[in-house]
Structure 1
């Protein structure tokens, strides 16, 4: 499969690139800064701003699926809706997987995760709110998209290849924690691209 990964230099995006390559896929890695030479023959590294719909449409022309793994800079959370709309516009006719946030998931205690301090402390509220807005923008778009909400804690770690898949309620472990490594999130992303599920919004976790 030919896959474009937008935000390919970030924590999630870089691991999606690595996971896709390990399975024999060809990757177009899209980054905003001047791209370095590709370190792998199956990777095309290109410079691109996702809000430049014309350019990104050209970049996506030869791919079968697109992964959006962008994250707004602190203070720029209000840009997420426009960014994901541009991504979906540029990806017209392609399957798009948006790596979003946990904010719009349901909490086990009722309500949304964004409103549950057990998962979203005050300092995380701005980015959690942005993910809720991001999902709403996807829901208003007619494109072929799927939205992946990670658990409350997503950090670099170990690739185990194992995870649980849920729908719109956050997944927690027996101790109440909600987490997954960025490496295993990437496993879930590529699994979804290879074998699409029926849910437009899903989550994963340990």
Structure 2
């Protein structure tokens, strides 16, 4: 079994991934700025991924880091500011680094624009979307010694559309995955299933992939 450290372990995506990993028998540490609402079976710690000493301590016996935090600035710090230290610590401790990303940096079609570059994309989400895209870009610049993966959920994903567990999902690369009606969506439990499947059976190394129905 693996030991996962989930930054943002009490959030929607992080909580779902933690619960799924515990369900499968993995050891899970859930990190949050404000502790108190981690899923059952998760060892909750209060701390920040911007605290290098704290992160280094967590890396000592970890197998995978899961970063499931917003990318926009929180308390004056953006996620991308922590990526260099996270990458270095993960590389030095042989920890696989992974991120719950956004869908907006996916192409709407092969060779087409990114979702957040389309006229229809809501302006209020562009800061978060652009910040996630910057994180992915920086990951792609990291040295070969770092094993990482970045998962973009479908366009419709979140606590506002939790769905029901089906055990099924489809995997894509850099292009948005849609169903026969043109809808791109994934439920929280099935997203977590796909994420933990990648941890248990790695297929994407130093790559972004997306999951949807």
Give TM-score, length-normalised by structure 1: 0.89
Structure 2 equivalent of residue 201 of structure 1: 208
Identify which of 168, 186, 194 aligns with 1:188.
194
Does structure 1 retain, via aligned residues, the 8 Å contact 2:29–2:42?
Answer: yes
CA–CA separation in structure 2 for the residues paired with 1:115 and 1:198: 26
Structure 2 equivalent of residue 152 of structure 1: 155
CA–CA separation in structure 1 for the residues paired with 2:210 and 2:126: 19
Aligned positions of 1:92-131 closer than 5 A: 92=91, 93-108=94-109, 110-118=112-120, 120-131=121-132
- CA RMSD in angstroms comes to 2.2
CA–CA separation in structure 1 for the residues paired with 2:212 and 2:183: 10
Deviation of residue 25 (structure 1)? 0.6
Does structure 2 retain, via aligned residues, the 8 Å contact 1:77–1:126?
Answer: no
3-state SS of paired residue (1:20): helix
Structure 2 equivalent of residue 68 of structure 1: 67
Unpaired segments ≥5 residues, structure 2: none
Structure 2 equivalent of residue 51 of structure 1: 50
Deviation of residue 11 (structure 1)? 0.6
Structure 2 equivalent of residue 90 of structure 1: 89
Deviation of residue 183 (structure 1)? 1.6
Taking structure 1 as reference, are residues 37 and 205 closer, same or farther at Cα in structure 2, changes over 3 Å only?
closer
Deviation of residue 184 (structure 1)? 1.2
Deviation of residue 36 (structure 1)? 3.8
Deviation of residue 43 (structure 1)? 2.8
CA–CA separation in structure 2 for the residues paired with 1:39 and 1:193: 19
Structure 1 equivalent of residue 23 of structure 2: 22
Does structure 2 retain, via aligned residues, the 8 Å contact 1:179–1:205?
Answer: yes
Deviation of residue 87 (structure 1)? 2.6
3-state SS of paired residue (1:154): coil
CA–CA separation in structure 2 for the residues paired with 1:105 and 1:57: 32
Taking structure 1 as reference, are residues 76 and 164 closer, same or farther at Cα in structure 2, changes over 3 Å only?
farther
CA–CA separation in structure 2 for the residues paired with 1:205 and 1:192: 15
Does structure 1 retain, via aligned residues, the 8 Å contact 2:10–2:37?
Answer: no
CA–CA separation in structure 2 for the residues paired with 1:78 and 1:111: 28
CA–CA separation in structure 1 for the residues paired with 2:173 and 2:77: 26
Deviation of residue 90 (structure 1)? 2.9
Deviation of residue 74 (structure 1)? 6.8
CA–CA separation in structure 1 for the residues paired with 2:38 and 2:212: 31
Taking structure 1 as reference, are residues 91 and 111 closer, same or farther at Cα in structure 2, changes over 3 Å only?
same
Does structure 2 retain, via aligned residues, the 8 Å contact 1:104–1:114?
Answer: yes
Q: Deviations over 1:9-56 (max 9, x none)?
A: 0010000010001111110111112x349774x532111200111211
